[in-house]
Amino acid sequence: MSDQRIELPGGHYAVFRDVETVTNDERSKALAVYDEIPGRVAANLMVYRKLIALMVTEWDLTYPDGKAMPLPKTDLGVLGRLPIRTYDPLWRAAEALQTQLFPEFEPTKEAVANPASPFDDSNSSAPNSVSVATSPGFLPPGEPTA
C-alpha cells in the first residue's frame, strides 16, 4: 500500500499515511478512548477523531485569514473547527480503514456454534459435582480448624 490522497471540498486535499505503517502502540492510544470517555457514542466519535489525527500526514487546509491549519496530530481540536462538508470525507476515509486497524473482537460464528473450550480437554479433571462444604480446605464459619 501507499499513502492515500483524500480529495476535500474547495479543491483541498489531505494525505492519509499508509495503513501498514501504523504501530500497535498508535492503535492502542486510539482505542484507549473507550476507557477514558463514558458513553459509547461519544467514545466512537473521539476514536474517529484520533484515527484521523493518526492518519493525516499532510493537508492544505487554511483558516479564513489564509493561515495554515495545524495537522490534527498536533492539535486534535482543529477537526472540530472544520466544516462538516470538509470533515466528512476524512471520516469516510478513516471508516474505510477501520477494519484494517481494529480487529473484530466479536466471537466468530464457529465459536458461537461450538462454545467448547479452545484448550484440549480442559474440563476432564473436574468431578461431575463437588460439595463445597465437604471439599478439603473449606470450613463453614465458626468451625474449628483441623
Q: Is the pLDDT of residue 140 over 80?
A: no
Residues 92, 104: Cα–Cα separation, whole Å: 19
pLDDT of residue 106: 64
115 or 92: which leads in pLDDT: 92
pLDDT of residue 7: 96
Q: Is the pLDDT of residue 80 over 80?
A: yes
Which pLDDT band, with edges at 50, 70 and 90, does 108 fall under?
A: low
Residues 13, 60: Cα–Cα separation, whole Å: 6
Cα torsion through 118, 121, 126, 129, rounded to 10? 80
Element (H, E) at 18: none
Query: Which residue reads 505503517 in cell numbers?
Result: 21
Helix (H, G, I), strand (E, B) or coil at 59: strand
Residues 146, 135: Cα–Cα separation, whole Å: 14
pLDDT of residue 104: 66
The amino acid at 93: A
Which pLDDT band, with edges at 50, 70 and 90, does 105 fall under?
A: low
The amino acid at 120: D
